[in-house]
Chains A and B, each alone.
Chain A
Amino acid sequence: AQSVTQLGSHVSVSEGALVLLRCNYSSSVPPYLFWYVQYPNQGLQLLLKYTSAATLVKGINGFEAEFKKSETSFHLTKPSAHMSDAAEYFCAVSVNYGGSQGNLIFGKGTKLSVKP
């Protein structure tokens, strides 16, 4: 079975500060991992993905994430937070075994607040 765990349901940072959102995964097969962002009353937008190529993945809006197999982690970072980064962030793993069709299993989400 596969799962993801997001540590911290709410993270608050000051504008310009480092953003760090934590995600740990569990998977018996090589995982495909994603970070999505959700703004209020909207769907999800892909930030970045890990598909077994480079372990440091760069995404949109200045975000990046590093896949660390030894730590089973895929934390999301951004060097300098902007007010527009305030949103809900979801880490997800693609179900990748058996007869799966690649549906996503999501973490519980982390709400990012950015203070001026």
Chain B
Amino acid sequence: GAVVSQHPSRVICKSGTSVKIECRSLDFQATTMFWYRQFPKQSLMLMATSNEGSKATYEQGVEKDKFLINHASLTLSTLTVTSAHPEDSSFYICSARDISAGQGSFGRNQPQHFGDGTRLSIL
């Protein structure tokens, strides 16, 4: 159980292109999903927190107009990298937390389930 599907797994495209990455929880619902970015041989850095039915919360230094997040349903969040440039090349990973964990303090700190990531390469 608790499977998160992330698609596509790999994208290679030209500079200036917009790229959409989907994150789906397959067997559970998630009011909150997270988007992380991982540079080669480095750790994961949170980009934004995606909330179903409301605006995403972006971390400091992350351009919200550059990285558009939409959480349209309880099982789908999308990240669109607009007008991508070579410096946007990275490994993007989403995660989701099961809604059944609850929204209180205990629930918010339950494990997140991760997708397999998207390798984005901008030429």
Interface residues of A (CB under 8 A from B): 32, 34, 36, 41-46, 49, 51, 90, 94, 96, 100-109
Contacts and interface: CB of A to CB of B under 8 A. Distances in A.
B111 interface: yes
Contacts of B43: 90, 106-109
13 contacts: A42-B117, A44-B93, A45-B114, A46-B113, A51-B106, A90-B43, A90-B44, A96-B108, A100-B108, A103-B49, A104-B44, A107-B43, A108-B43
B117 A41 contact: yes
A44 B114 contact: yes
B108 A104 contact: no
A42 B119 CA distance: 10
A43 B108 contact: no
Nearest to B107: A102
B46 interface: yes
A49 B101 CA distance: 14
Contact of B108 (A36, A101, A106): A101
B91 to A, nearest CB: 8
B32 interface: yes
